Amino acid sequence: MNAKQEIKALVFDAYGTLFDVHSVISICNQLFPDRGAALSQAWRAKQLEYTWLRSLMGHYEDFWQVTESALIVACQTLNLPCEPARRAQLMDAYLHLEPYPDVRPALTALADYSLAILSNGSPRMLQAAVASAGLEGLFSHVISVDEAKIYKPSPRVYQLASQKMGVAESAIGFVSSNAWDVIGAKAVGFWTCWVNRSNTKVRSSASEE
């Protein structure tokens, strides 16, 4: 059987795949003129690093806390003053990330499948982002790693989606812009689709497995 015959559910990563994490650049630029892109890059890099390190240590904190810790350190690294009022403004931007323009048309075209989100985001963050982007009602499940208390790419996270949806791993198609997320999903037996949003020309060596 091919993928189209086997796949019953499509599971989407959220940050970077449905929602543009770098849509925070505009508020970053308002608060720190001309430093928005650099801050957004550093913030995102630290955010991911903390999810991996905390998972590996077995010290889970939810994605809101991780995102705020990453923001504080990113600002310190770039010598940007980030007192509580500015921090609150920046964190609020994470609740209103812009969806990529192709997201709604794609989800609408795929409505014959069960559609779900599987994300590092905390339940509150995901609920806010979905509502803000006008994507409510499109997903049968919005699944947070918070139930597994570990971050991607732990196999436990991907298995959580299979369990919550009642669909076998081999009948799930997983869609992400993060290559390491695709590799993690593939490792548990999902079909996978890498959305190459950054036009990366290289293959990660890890993807050669």
x/- letters, 120..159, toward a second copy (CB under 8 A): -------------------------------xxxxx----
Indicate which single residue of 58, 81, 84, 105 sits in contact with a second copy (rule: CB under 8 A).
58
**14 φ, ψ to 5°?**
-100, -65
Amino acid (1-letter code) at residue 174 = F
Task: Find the part of the chain contacting a second copy (CB under 8 A) among 5-13, 32-40, 70-78, 123-131.
Answer: 70-78
Taking alpha carbons only, the member of 173, 76, 69, 57 closest to residue 115 is 173
- Provide the token pair at 122: 């905390």
Q: Are 192 and 173 in contact (CB under 8 A)?
A: yes
Residues 172-191 contacting a second copy, CB under 8 A: 180, 183-184, 187
Using CB under 8 A as the binding rule, whether residue 205 contacts a second copy is answered as: yes
Q: Are 82 and 71 in contact (CB under 8 A)?
A: yes
Indicate which single residue of 73, 95, 110, 193 sits in contact with a second copy (rule: CB under 8 A).
73
Peptide bond into 155 cis (omega under 30): no
Point out which residues bind a second copy (CB under 8 A): 49-50, 52-59, 68-70, 72-73, 76-77, 151-155, 180, 183-184, 187, 201-202, 204-206, 209
